[in-house]
Amino acid sequence: MKTNTKLIYLILSLLLHQVIWSQGNKLKGEGSTENVIELSSKKAISYTSKNLKYSNEGIVFSKLSETEKIIISPVEISLIEPEPFISTYLQLNGTNLNHDAILITYRTSEKGEIWSDWKKIPFDGHFDKINNNYLISSLLYLDKSISYIQYALDITTNKEMILEKILLKHYSPGATPRKTLEEINTIKFKNQNKAACSKPSVVSRSQWGARPPRSSFPTTNVTHLIVHHEFGSNSSSDWAARVRSVQNFHMNSNGWSDIGYNFLIDPNGVIYEGRAGGDSAVGAHFCGRNRNTMGVCMLGNYSSATPKVATQNSLKDLLAWKATKENINPSGFAYHYSIDGSLRTISGHRDGGGCSACPGDGGYAILPSIRTGVQNLIDNNCSGSGGGTDNQSPTTTISASGGNTQSGDFTANFNDNDNIGVTRRFYQALEKYGDNWYANRGNGFFNDNFNIFYSGYTQGAGNWSISNGHLSQSDISSDNTKLNTFLSQNSGLPYLYEFSAKTISTTGPKKFGLHIMADDVTQSQRGNSYLIWFSGEDNKVRIYETVNNQLNFRAISDVSLDNQWANYKITYSPAFGVLEIFRNNTSLLRWTDTTPIKNGSSISLRTNKTNMEFDDLKVYKFRANQTQSITAGSSVTKDIRRQNGKIKSLVRDAAGNWSAPGNLDITISSLSRQNPNIIDDTKLNNSDPIIYPNPTTAKSLTLTYNATSNQRLEVSIWDITGKLLNKINTTPKENSLQNLNISSLIEGIAGGTYIIKVKNGKNVTYSRILKQ
C-alpha cells in the first residue's frame, strides 16, 4: 500500500509540475492548435482521382494497380499571433498503413487565396517503420504569416489499407526573450578557452525553455555516438525556438516523455542540452535501439547541403569530450545490438538498421572527417584543430566585361575561390579625387585612407587630425568623442565595415569603437545604432544597441588588445540582424538582433579618454554572386562618377577566413578627369539636392544642397495629388554647401510617396521620397 501511495504521489507531482510550467512559462506567441479530419465521409475531401470506398472506419484502399490521389480540403491554422514561426506536422491513423505506399505533398497560403506550389514532405524517420496503425510526417517550418495549409496524398498499395482519420497539429514555440538570445549567442565563444577535452559550454534546458519531462530516464553505458540531422530549414533567427519545436514534436507526436536527442547543435556551432538526465540518459533517436548510445542532432537539413564548419567543429568538440570520458575509440568499431554486429563508434542514424536516411547525404558525408577530427583532438589533448579546421583563405580577383576602359555602366566579373566554399561576398566601387580615393556614400560605399582630412566629416568632441597618413584622436579628457560621416545604409543587404586602429594610450580606459546604422549622429549616442566597442581596460569587445539615444548592452566576448596596429571587420545583415566582429580576421563575437535595425544614414568613430590612431576606413556592400552591375557616369547617383575608378572585392568562407582584397582599375572614357558636376564626393557643383535617408522612417531626414543664391531657401513637401503639406525656410550663404535637417517636414505624415520641392532664388528642384 505504501508503494502504491508513493507512486500515486509521484504521478500527481509530475502532473502538477506540468500544469504549473504550462501556466507560468508561456512565451510571447506560444500556442498550439489541432485539426481532426474524419474520413468516414466525403466532406473532408476536395478532390479524388476516382470513386473511393467509404466505410465506418474510413477510406478503404484495396489492392491498386495505379496511383490514387486524394486532396484534403484546405485547413485554417488558427494560431493567435504566432512567433517566431509555425511548426506543423500531419498524422495518419488507420490500418495496415505503409509509408512506402503513401506520398504526401502540401501547399500553403497566407489568406487562402494565393497558394504556394505543391511540395513533398517525407515521413518522420524515427517512427515510420515501427507502427502500421499511424504514420507521422516530418516536422515542417512555416513562416508566421501562413494561415492556411492543404495536403494531398498519392497512394499505391498492394494490399488493403484503411485510412481512418488525419490529425493536423500546429505549434508556435513563442519568441525566445531577447536577453536569453544574447546569452545563447555568446556561449560558443566560451569554448575557446576550455581546458583540454573538457565538456564544451552548452545552452541549458532552462535557457532554451525546455518543458519538464513526463518521467525520469535510465542511464546507459555509452559505447556509440550517433549523429543526426533535424531535417528542418537551414536558417533561423531563433534557434532556441527550433529546439522547443523539436521537443514539442517528440513529446506530442511520437508520444515520448521528452526530446529524443541528448544534444543538439545549431549552424552557428551553439550546443544545446537535450534529454533530461545528462549525456548518458537513454534517448529516443536510434531506430528504437537506444541503449549504449548518445544522440547528437545537427539542426538543419543536410540531405544534400554540407553542415557549416562551425557545426562540424562543435560536433567534434562534443564527441571528443564524450569519447575521452567513456574511453571510446572514435576511429573504431564496437558491438551494438541494433545490427547484432560491429558498428562504427561514431555512426549516422541510418547505420542503425536502415530505419532512416538521417543524417542526410550531406551530413553522412562528413562523418569520416568527424571521426578523424575527433581522433586528432584526443591525440592533441583536445588543444589542436581536430584535423578538420579550415585555415585556407579564399581568393578573389576581378575583371570587367569589355575590358578596363568603359564608357558607362558595366558588369564586373568576380572570380571567387575557396577549398570548401565562399559564403560571403562584398564589393566596393571607388572614384579618384586628386590623389585620394573616395566612394559614393549615397550608394552605400565608403573609403578613406586618411592622406588628408576628408571634407565629408562632421566633428563632435575630440581632437581629430591627420598625422603621418593616419587619423589621430588625441583628446584624453572626453569620454565620448565623435567623428561622423553620412553613409546610406538602406539596401537591406549585408554590409562590411573595415578599419585599422592602434591604441597610443598606455593607461586609462583605452576604449574605442564604431557606430554603424546610425540614424541621428547629432545626438550623444547617435540616435538608433549599433556600437561595436573595444576596451583595452578589461580586454573585451562589446556590442551595444542604442535605442532612442539610450545605450543598451547586447553581447560581450574576450579579445586580446595591445598597442599594435590591428585590422577590424564588422559584418551586419539588416534582414536577419546578424552582426559579427573580427580582429585580424579572427571572429571574436557574433550576435543576432531579433528586431534588427533596417536603415541607417551615418557611421561614427568614437573613443573614451584614449589617444588613438585610425587608418583605412572602408564600407563594402554585399553581392550575391560572381557578377555585379556597376553604374558609371556624370549623374550623382552613379557608383563611379569620375574618370578614374576602382572596384574592390573581399570574400569570406564558412570557417571565417578572409581573402586579400581583389582590385580592378577602371577608366570611364565618357568622363573628363574633373567631372564638372562634382568637385569631390561631398560637394556638388550643380544644384541638384541629395535627400537622405531615402526611404526614411521620419527619425532623421537631411538635405544636402549647394546654394546658388543667398536668397531665401524654401523647402516644402507635397503629396502626389499636389497638396502642400508642410514647408520650412532658411537663408543660406551663396555658393555654400548646405546640410539642413528637414525632419520636421515629415513629422505626423502617414507613410507613402511624397515630393520635396527645394527653391533657392530662381532655381527650383523636385525630389521624390518614400516615408515608411
Integer Rg of the chain from CA:
31
- 687 has pLDDT over 60: no
Nearest alpha carbon to residue 137 among 164, 104, 110, 161: 104
More confident residue, 21 or 548: 548
Residue type, 584: N
What is the residue whose three cell numbers read 541549458? 204
Is pLDDT above 90 for 703? no
682 pLDDT band (50/70/90 cuts)? Answer: low
Asked if residue 17 has pLDDT above 50, the reply is no
| pLDDT confidence bin for 130, thresholds 50/70/90 | low
What are the residues facing 92 on neighbouring strands? 135, 166
Please report the pLDDT score of residue 170 as a whole number. 94
In the numeric block, which cell numbers belong to residue 367? Answer: 562523418
pLDDT category of residue 525 using cuts at 50, 70 and 90 = very high
Half-sphere exposure (CA, 13 Å, Cβ side) for 577?
18
pLDDT of the residue at 766 = 75
Give the tens place of pLDDT for each residue, 474-501.
999 999 999 999 999 988 899 999 999 9
CA angle 128, 134, 136 (to 5 degrees): 55
On the question of pLDDT at 27 being above 60, the answer is yes
pLDDT higher than 90, residue 406:
yes
Q: Are 529 and 597 in contact (CB under 8 A)?
A: yes
Residue pointed to by grid coordinates 570587367: 400
pLDDT tens digits for range 171-198: 999 999 988 888 887 776 555 545 446 7
Alpha-carbon span 69 to 52, nearest angstrom = 10
* Digit-coded pLDDT (tens) for 268-316: 999 999 999 889 999 988 887 889 999 999 999 998 889 998 899 999 9
| Beta carbons of 551 and 525 less than 8 angstroms apart | yes
Other Cβ atoms within 10 Å of 47 Cβ, number: 10
What distances in angstroms separate CA 409 from CA 69, 231, 485, one per listed residue? 53, 44, 27
What tens digit of pLDDT does each residue of 588-640 get?
988 888 889 999 999 999 999 999 999 999 999 999 889 999 999 988 789 99
The CA distance from 724 to 716, in Å, is 7
- For residue 6, pLDDT beyond 80: no
Residue 771: φ, ψ to 5°:
-95, 125
* Residues above pLDDT 90, as percent of the chain: 52
Nearest to 65 by CA among 76, 75, 50: 50
How many Å from the N-terminal Cα to the C-terminal Cα in the chain? 70
- d(CA 140, CA 134) in angstroms, rounded, equals 18
Q: Which one, of 265, 260, 259, lies nearest residue 239 by Cα? A: 265
**Pairwise CA distance, residues 336 & 343, whole Å:** 6
Q: Hey, what amino acid is at 136?
A: I
724 or 41, higher pLDDT: 724
CA distances from 320 to 305, 386, 416 (A): 24, 9, 34
Residues 6+ apart with CB under 8 A from 721: none
Largest CA distance in the chain: 102
Provide the grid cell at 701: 531626414
Kindly report the average pLDDT of the chain as a whole number: 86
Higher pLDDT, 699 or 489: 489
What is the CB-side half-sphere exposure of residue 293 using CA atoms within 13 A? 29
Does the pLDDT of residue 342 top 50, yes or no? yes
Residue 772 has pLDDT above 80, yes or no: no
Between 721 and 744, name the one with better pLDDT: 744
How far, in Å, CA of 284 to CA of 276, rounded?
12
Given this model, what pLDDT does residue 650 score? 97
pLDDT for the residue 40: 73
Q: What is the DSSP letter of 481?
A: -
C-alpha cell at 631: 553604374
Which amino acid makes up residue 45?
Answer: I
At 414-442, the pLDDT tens digits run 999 988 778 789 999 999 998 899 999 98
Q: Are strands 457-459 and 483-489 parallel, antiparallel or unpaired?
A: antiparallel
Q: What are the beta bridge partners of residue 703? A: 691, 740
Delineate the domains of the chain, giving CATH numbers in brackets.
31-172 (2.60.120), 178-379 (3.40.80.10), 395-668 (2.60.120.560), 687-771 (2.60.40.3080)
pLDDT of 552 reads 94
Task: Indicate the SS3 state at residue 304.
Answer: coil
CA distance 88 to 104: 14
For the stretch 78-116, pLDDT in tens is 999 999 999 999 999 998 888 888 899 999 999 999 999
Amino acid letter, residue 736 = S
Name the 3-class secondary structure at 177: coil
Give residue 189's pLDDT: 59
Of 707 and 355, the one with more pLDDT: 355
- Rank 349-353, 383-387, 540-544 by mean pLDDT and report only the highest: 540-544
Alpha-carbon torsion, ordered 500, 654, 311, 297, to 10 deg: 140
Nearest Cα to 83, choosing from 169, 3, 36, 142? 142
